[in-house]
Amino acid sequence: MIRLQGLERTRIKMEQLYSESRVAKRDIEHIYGALLLSAYSSFEVMLEDLFLRLLTSKKLPKSIESKATFRSLQAARSIVFGERKYLDWIPYDRTLRRAESHFYGGRPFTQLDANERTRIKELCLVRNAIAHNKGYARRQFEREIVSNLVLAPRERTPNGFLRSLHSLAPNVTRYEQLIADLTAIARSLVKR
What pTM does this model have? 0.92
The three-class DSSP label of residue 173 is strand
Q: What is the dihedral of CA 91, 110, 96, 138, to 10 degrees?
A: -10
Q: Is the pLDDT of residue 157 over 80?
A: yes
Q: Within the chain, where are the H helices?
A: 2-19, 25-56, 73-81, 92-102, 114-131, 135-141, 158-163, 174-191
The chain-wide mean pLDDT, for the chain, equals 94
Q: Which residue has the higher pLDDT, 73 or 2?
A: 73
Q: What is the pLDDT of residue 169?
A: 82
- The boundaries of the domain holding residue 58 are 2-191
Quote the number of domains for the chain: 1
